Amino acid sequence: MILVVTLNPALDVTHHVAGAEWAGVNRPHEVAVRPGGKGVNVARTLRALDTEVLITGLAGGPAGDAIAAGLAAAGLAADFTATAGETRRTFAVVDTRRGQTGLFNEPGPLVSATEYEHFRARYRSALAGSAAVVLSGSLPPGVPAAAYAELAQLAGAAGVPTVLDADGPALMLGATGGPAIVKPNLEELERAVGRPLRRPGCTDPDPDAVVRAAGELITAGAGAVVVSLGPAGLLAVTSEGIWQAAPPGPAPGNPTGAGDAAVAGLAHSLMHGHGWPDRLRHATALGTAAVAEPVAGEVSPGRYRELLAGISVARRGT
């Protein structure tokens, strides 16, 4: 079983509007409401791989109830610790005429020390039955910034490897807890080290700068760093070497959740003891397959298997 921690899940509300009036009244022609947040996307991908998952974290209020009900309806097991504050919503306005989406992300409820303490106790019990842990997404207000470090440490002490996917201080501090893998994207890695990792005027990453930045996260405590580079695939900086995995070509679609699908692949590979080349092939194929799906985290197993053979994995000379 893979334990997926989502401390700040969200109820994702999506309105489809043909030509939004930003200073007027709109009647969306389609409304979708579903449990969201990066951890939920990871769990959806793991389920597509027929892997047993338990989602844990914090949820409260009617939006929290809606998430629990939505996960149950989707057949995803969840065990949330209740918060007095209400779980956040994200609101997306998809303008089908202009082809653009505006996303409005609430910060999340203020979590009390006692509520976090209750969660931590349940997390420790759940570790006993877990083969891997995923720590994913933002921390709600009130949860200590070093929470991911502590959760990764607890998992490590229980012999369970962790994949950490976070941003900002949650990522930098989290790395000190010794997660097996940290998975930032390029922007997150730039924020973590506080400098650009692209040459002036370029949008593509500077590979040497990326490898140096990843090295800083490893020095901080991470076992390995896998940087997701969008359509260019994954770059892994590990104690066994540096690897670049890339899909065969551009994948049109919705990149939201592609990184989460890659995280699911990394955790799944950790559980099965795959080596780095297989691990990266697996994660890259899942991330690429997720791009083809309209819903974040969903993956077609057929498309995934089709892609798998076309992923190139190259060891980088150092």
Q: Which residues does the annotation mark as catalytic? A: 260
Q: Does residue 141 interact with a copy of itself by CB under 8 A? A: no
Give the binding-site size for a copy of itself (rule: CB under 8 A): 35
Q: Does residue 31 interact with a copy of itself by CB under 8 A? A: yes
Q: How far is the CB of 282 from a copy of itself (least distance, A)?
A: 29
By CB under 8 A, name the one of 6, 9, 15, 38 that touches a copy of itself: 15
Q: How far is the CB of 93 from a copy of itself (least distance, A)?
A: 7
Q: Exposed, middle or buried: residue 69 (CB in 10 Å: 0-12, 13-18, 19+)? A: exposed
Q: Does residue 97 interact with a copy of itself by CB under 8 A? A: no
Q: Which stretch binds a copy of itself (CB under 8 A): 56-64, 120-128, 235-243, 298-306?
A: 56-64
Q: Which residues pair with 80 in a beta bridge?
A: 57
Q: How far is the CB of 31 from a copy of itself (least distance, A)?
A: 5
Neighbours of 145 (CB within 10 A): 13
- Angle formed at CA 229 by CA 273 and CA 50, multiple of 5 degrees: 40
Neighbours of 194 (CB within 10 A): 9
The conformation of residue 239, written as its DSSP 8-state character, comes to T
CA atoms of 292 and 244, how far apart (whole Å): 22
Q: Does residue 202 interact with a copy of itself by CB under 8 A? A: no
> What residue type is assigned to position 3 of the chain?
L
By CB under 8 A, name the one of 73, 84, 103, 113 that touches a copy of itself: 103
CA atoms of 315 and 318, how far apart (whole Å): 9
Q: Does residue 110 interact with a copy of itself by CB under 8 A? A: no
Q: Which is nearer to a copy of itself, 7 or 133 (CB)?
A: 7
Q: What is the H or E stretch that residue 301 is in?
A: helix 301-308
* Residues binding a copy of itself (CB under 8 A): 11, 13, 15, 17, 20-28, 31, 33, 61-63, 65-66, 69, 86, 89, 91, 93, 95, 98, 100-107
